[in-house]
Amino acid sequence: MALFKIAVLEGDGIGPEVVSAALKVLYRIGELAGHHFETEKGLIGGSAIDEKGTPLPEETIKLCLEADAVLLGAVGGPKWDHLPTEERPERGLLGIRKALDLYANLRPAKVYEPLIEASPLKREVVRGTDMVVVRELTGDVYYGEPRGIFTQDGKRVGINTMRYTEDEIRRVVRKAFQIANLRRKKLTSVDKSNVLEVSALWRQIVEEESKNFPEVELEHLYVDNCAMQIVRRPSSFDVIVTGNIFGDILSDEAAVITGSLGMLPSASLGDRYALYEPVHGSAPDIAGKGVANPIATILSVALMLRYSFGLIREADLLERAVEVTLEKGYRTPDIYTEGTIKVGTEGMTQAVIQTLEELWS
Ligand code: NAD
Ligand code: IPM
Ligand code: MN
């Protein structure tokens, strides 16, 4: 029996609700397939601030470094919004991404046919959409120095620094080419090279790397145009590669056209470690109500099975189980449309488990 060690960081808001749902699914897969998933919880974000006085305690980093993979819920919430930027829950998330050197964040956005009515776009526009946003995750304006709020001539000035080294760009771009090569062989690189030097360098590196992948069709888009094309022709995208801040924004946009932010999983990969988390946040507006959509986190577990554990069959079956559950009509409120079956977090989780059992046999 294979043993896999998973560090579980529930975080705040709906984080614990969606993580507990996804773990139920994972344990059932363990029973069905004969694997042992050993989980250990660690604190991160606001709950870590409350208990330990810091959003990323040392023992959490240690736990993650010793695990085979990390599963994370979400961090943040109004309770901690008054804190200065460097003490906020979100710093915990940025810290763990950096500590594990998770430079490539894969955010697949796929339209499920049964959910087509839940998309804010017309069905003929959105049908067939299946893209992956590869977002650089450990550089850019998120980490660049200098940063801070300073005083100059008696007035406050806020400063952040957009910064990428050649190597930081190259490693994530290479990963994106590799992913595109295994899919429909189309890569869209997104930048703002008409204005920013960082982006001009980004584009140079992408061009250099493309020579190693002659069979991948390459397109460059400026980020403003890309934001527009994602709603105009979403199904034309295969893999999008971009920097940290542009990727943050474009992946929420890509997510919602599939029906809901509550559907989108992600894998944050480095050369040694990996962390899996939904793209959505802690959703304070619905936390504690038992209505959060657990699918983004359940699909993040599928990515973990595939990328960290090499359990391809299990991952495929889990993704199929989610699709069939949607075909059966189960919907959390965020994806509900008339004539479907409205369920909460627990109802959706049980429906996925039930479908998984049916598909397994
Ligand atoms: P959010 O993603 O938490 O919520 C945006 C909207 O989407 C809300 O209306 C919410 O109810 C809905 N939503 C999100 N996930 C859902 C789900 N699973 N099911 C149903 N509906 C869902 O973004 P926000 O409101 O901008 O941020 C709230 C907090 O979360 C902030 O503190 C922010 O910093 C944090 N945040 C954390 C992460 C993360 O941990 N990875 C990501 C984004 C935001
Ligand atoms: C995300 C979030 C985070 C980010 C925040 C909460 C730090 O929006 O994971 O998309 O900006 O990376
Ligand atoms: Mn985001």
Do 59 and 107 lie in one domain? The reply is yes
Domain count, the chain: 2
Check whether residue 96 and residue 58 sit in a common domain: yes
Is residue 238 included in any domain, yes or no?
A: yes
Last residue of a domain, one of 191, 212, 245: 245
Q: For residues 172 and 165, is the Cβ–Cβ distance under 8 A? A: no
User: What global pTM score does this model have?
Assistant: 0.96
31 belongs to a structural domain: yes
Tell me, yes or no, whether 253 lies in a domain: no
| Residues 171 and 240 both lie in one domain | yes
| 21 is a domain residue | yes
C-alpha 241/C-alpha 176 separation (Å) is 6
Ligand 1 probe mutation, 135, 280, 349, most atoms within 8 A of CB: 280
Q: What gap in Å lies between CA 207 and CA 205, rounded to an integer?
A: 5
Examine the domain organization and report whether 332 and 300 are in the same domain.
yes
Q: What token pair was written down for 162?
A: 């957009």
Pairing of strands 265-269, 104-110: antiparallel
For residue range 261-301, list pLDDT tens digits in order. 999 999 999 999 999 999 999 999 999 999 999 999 999 99
DSSP state of 262: G
Domain boundary among 217, 245, 273: 245
- Are 227 and 274 contained in the same domain? no
Per the annotation, the verdict on 211 as an active-site residue is: no
Residue 278 CA to ligand 1 centre (angstroms) = 10
User: Where residue 236 sits, what CATH number does that domain have?
Assistant: 3.40.50
What is the torsional sign of CA 289, 292, 298, 300?
negative
User: CATH no. for residue 95?
Assistant: 3.40.718.10
Task: Check whether 286 is labelled as a binding-site residue.
Answer: yes
**End-to-end CA, the chain:** 20
Question: In which band, very low, low, confident or very high, does the pLDDT at 181 lie, cut at 50, 70 and 90?
Answer: very high
- Does a structural domain hold residue 224? yes
Among residues 68, 101, 252, 316, the one annotated as catalytic is 252
Instruction: Look up residue 256 and give its DSSP letter.
Output: H
In a domain, 252, yes or no: no
d(CA 259, CA 126): 10
Helix (H, G, I), strand (E, B) or coil at 251: helix
How confident is the prediction for the chain on average, in pLDDT? Answer: 97
Is 273 considered catalytic here?
Answer: no
Q: What is the pLDDT of residues 75-130, one digit of tens each?
A: 999 999 999 999 999 999 999 999 999 999 999 999 999 999 889 999 999 999 99
Catalytic position from the list 140, 191, 192, 330: 192
Measured CA distances, 30 to 305, 318, 350 (Å)? 11, 12, 16
Q: 256 lies in a domain?
A: no
Same domain for 279 and 191: no
What is the extent of the structural domain holding 222?
120-131+138-245
Q: 218: which 2 tokens?
A: 């390459």
